[in-house]
Amino acid sequence: MTAGLAVLVAMSVLLFVGAIVMLLFFCRRIQVQRERESLVFTQEPADVYREELNDSFTEQALWRCGVCKFLNHPERKLCDLCQTLKGAERDVAGNNNRSRRRSLTQHSNSSSLSSSSTHRMGRIGEMEAFASAHGDDAIGGSFSRQSFEYLKKKKKLKSKMSKLQLAASRRQEWKRMPTTDGLHRWVRQQSTRGHSRAQRTSMENDPGGRLSLNRYLDATDRDSNLSVGYIRVRDSIGRLVLNESDVVATDFHYRINILDGKGSSELIMNLERVHNLPFPDKIRWFSTEIHRLWLPWESGHAELVVRRDHLLQDSFERVTAMKPFQLRQRWRVVFDGEPALDAGGVMREWFTLLFAELFDPTFGLFVSTVGDERSYWINASSDLLIGEDDHLAYFGFAGRLVGKAILEEHLMPVHLALPFLKHILGVPISFSDLQFLDDEIYNSALMVKKIDDIEPLCLDFTATRVVDGKADVVELVEGGVNIDVTRENRSRYLDALFKYHVLGSISAQLLSFLTALYDVVPEGLLKLFDYQELELLMCGVPSIDVEDWKKHTDFKFFTHNFPTELELRNIEWLWEVVEEMRNEDRVRLLQFATGTSRVPAQGFKGLISSDGRVRRFNVAFAGTNPSFLFPKAHTCFNRLDLPIYKSKEVMAEYVNLIRHQSSGDNGSTKRLKTSPSPDPEEFSLNNVVFNAKKAAAIAHLPEANISKLFEEDATISYLTTDRKSWVYHVPRWYRHIFEHATPEDLNSAAFDEDEDGEKLPVLWSTIFKQAWETHPKEHDTIMMFGKPTKLPRFQQLCGEMGSYRYSGKTYEAQKEYPRGLRHAIEHMKRIVEDPATLRTRLTGGLVNWYENGDHYIGPHADDERDMIACSPIVALSLGATRRFVFTKKTSKSAPKDSEAVARMELQIGDGDLMIMGGTTQKTHKHAVPKMARCREPRISVTMRCFH
């Protein structure tokens, strides 16, 4: 009985413990499931606009950046405005405040620093000059040694600030103050000009020249950062000029004409209260107001059909022809010959490509600023580069484009220079802002400002602008070429130089830009922001917060709402892969999936579609046996399609390929590149054997150059998912060979000889010059649609094959290759020919001479019967850099067993080698499109394998 009872008790205990274990197991399983579901099913309401997004934190929970005073989301690690690391700003503010307090306490004769002095980074150079002028006793009497060390530390911290941080730290330097007439005037926050004269008089009368620390800092600040502020205004005849800020009254009201097809009505709002709101509230208010400007789709919309190879020209013609009310209509962008649903992705791609072309310095409209951090400024020579009749129209087009991007809440891929942003907002601009345009000019001006003996510099009242390598002298004042700069007039000279660079040289262009911009977005509405907030609004956040990305991503499973264990593991692997990426690779992944490389100011929760509604980032799984292994993107829907990978390593391999992608094909598999081979000695692709070491030895390249030339620089782009269609690109290939060629090697190329028959020294320019002089004198003709058509380039067939027929015409080959190209062609053959089997032998080539960007070759495939099927085509480019575009064939003859890239583009430069191999000619066409901004010549040599 007793034994039986003991067994029963033991069994009960075991059952109880087992039940507890099972309960804990199921509780843990439920917890894990909920954690995983939190990654998947945390969704915002679907049909909302940005202004309807709610923040889950109060203003008190935000953290304030110590550099720029911007309030950031509590989960942000970097300041959205100036990219300062959270907590690092204390090194600039908190720690130095304590050092300052200690130094001032230890010296009773030093006056306390004003609160504005907290933000000054010191003037150590001026203090040393003061000490040398007044002696060490002056430092002892006016500045404590601790104060001196404090300023040295502050100076060091300032020197470490980036241009972005420096600009952001000054964003509240000026403030609008209401006046009795209902208008506003700008007042400098740190020190107003109203009492500057009295302070200077007091300093001059200070006995012994002993200044207090506070007054000394005020004086030196006034000499540098606190220079006169100027605002651009319209003069009596409508031109833009600069007036001193304290004499300009500004209107701080939001005046808007609501336009429609029938008429307009005016709305007036005072912006003072809204201007003081935290930035997230400003953004919500701004989004609400710009949506009021939108004209409903049903009331009419505009469709822009543009050609990719004439993108800038077509877009310019369409947009400039629009009436004012059409600028606020909804737009639909279509690339000619590429039907696609524009739910946002196509327009984002259009904006990205168009901004890149429009702001390209080679086009002539804008220039890059000179300094560490690149931004764009108006080109003062645009009238000479684009044409006096056209350049202002293009600036009007640029203004409309920027305004439309703001109106549609699309992020710009380019940054405007700080003075440009200030002009847009009508904010005072001062001498120190010159450093955000050109570091060299600013530093030179500072030197002129500080040195005593200025006459040896031989300066006069002129400035120089360089156009196409030619210097053009511009007078800063009337008769300036005859006025020497002296100590007495240098302030006037620097003032004139400053005004010339920030407005005088570009006033007409700026006026055209601003007028067009305000036609789309009212000027008063933009005044809501300071210049750094405006840049954040226009360009978004440059760094990607992975935690924010996780929080605002949805997942769609192969079986709806029933994720498998492998799918859930794929989610975890994906975020681990993203976290391990560098920021620049995360940017490429984001651009691949959404068409934009930036995150909006609201973070990932603010991603939108073309109708302005929030469309969250989403990932769709395509099963364990999909027809593809590479990620796919649907930029219109902010969607990334992924197969279900078997391991994290496999996922990482394919996801990381996106770092080499080019953006935008609206749903098709994009350009996929990988390194040529893990074996540096030899690798094989289809029928072509590349022996890098042998090729380098033949070309007389040093061993050290082998790896760099054939592994680090060279890339392979796969055009199909089965990797049977590919393009191999080696930048500067022939330049490497030429630079390391021996005289004997070059002598085989039949270069110029002198009167005694001796070979002349061969220069890189000699190659192009000799090859260019051999181009045919007349344009050839081909048959197109049954009619003879003149080729938009010069062309000559060369080689051993005798004749070659294409485009309805038979061409006889010239046996000798053009002078200047023979040396290069010898090495082109050596790289791909296999002497043992002769399975790839380049027997002939086509030479094309492109006079400028107006010469081109249209989409075609080199798949004629005279050529060996699937043999490699080896091309060398000399001269100007041109776009080389691949597009997928849509004919019935195109292979259907593998998914193909819809479009890929390469930039082919001077000396570049390119090999098109495998089934590329079966799956894709290639072209060298027109390039209006290119005015330089180019030569291409295309070697082929003929029967």
Q: Residues 838-850, buried b or exposed e (16+ Cβ, 10 A)? A: eebbbbbbbbbbb
Token couple for 2: 């007793």
What the block records as the tokens of 841 is 């032998």
DSSP 3-state assignment of 299? helix
Distance, in Å, from the CA atom of 568 to the CA atom of 642, rounded to the nearest integer, reads 13
- Residues contacting residue 65 through CB under 8 Å, at least 6 positions apart: 71, 72, 79, 81, 82, 84, 89, 168
Provide the CA 749 distance to its chain's centre, in angstroms. Answer: 43
For residue 160 the two structure tokens come to: 């470490």
- Return the half-sphere exposure (C-beta side, CA atoms, 13 A cut-off) of residue 615: 19
Long-range contacts of 765-768 (CB under 8 A, 24+ apart): 766/820, 767/738, 767/820, 767/821, 767/823, 767/824, 767/878, 768/820, 768/878, 768/879, 768/939
618 CB contacts (<8 Å, ≥6 apart)? 553, 554, 555, 556, 637, 638, 639, 640
844 forms beta bridges with 799, 944
Task: Tell me phi and psi for residue 156, to 5 degrees.
Answer: -65, -40
476 within 8 A of 493, measured Cβ to Cβ: yes
**Residue 304 has which token pair?**
């822009």
Cα angle 581, 584, 587 (rounded to 5 degrees) comes to 95
H or E stretch at 263: none
DSSP 469: T
- Structure tokens, 349: 């791609």
Angle between helices 565-580 and 648-655 (to 10 degrees): 50
Q: Hey, what are 473's tokens?
A: 């002298």
Smallest CA-to-CA distance from 849 within 910, 771, 907 is with 771
Please state, in angstroms and rounded to a whole number, the distance separating the CA atoms of residues 370 and 317.
32
* Closest alpha carbon to 670 in 349, 913, 931, 891: 349
Cα–Cα distance, 540 to 348 (Å, whole number): 14
Tokens representing residue 559 in the block: 């079986």
Angle between helices 94-106 and 145-159 in degrees, nearest 10? 160
Per 3-state DSSP, the chain is made up of helix, strand and coil in percentages (nearest 5) of 40, 20, 35
Sort residue 83 into left (φ over 0), alpha (ψ -120 to 50) or beta. left
CB atoms < 10 A from the CB of 175, how many? 13
Give the DSSP H or E segment for 913.
Answer: strand 913-918
Please give the positions annotated as active site. Answer: 636
442/436 Cα distance (integer angstroms): 9
Torsion sign, CA atoms 408, 412, 416, 421: positive
Q: Would you state the structure tokens that stand for residue 836, as one six-digit string?
A: 């043992």
Residue whose pair of structure tokens reads 């293009």 in the numeric block: 394
DSSP state of 905: E
The upper half-sphere exposure of residue 284, i.e. CA atoms within 13 Å in the direction of its Cβ, equals 11
Contacts of 293 (CB under 8 A, 6+ apart): 256, 258, 328, 407, 521
SS (H, E, C) 2-48: HHHHHHHHHHHHHHHHHHHHHHHHHHHHHHHHHHHHHHHCCCCCCCC
Which of 166, 167, 190, 189 shows the shortest CA–CA distance to 176? Answer: 189
Q: Which helix (DSSP H) or strand (DSSP E) does residue 149 occupy?
A: helix 145-159
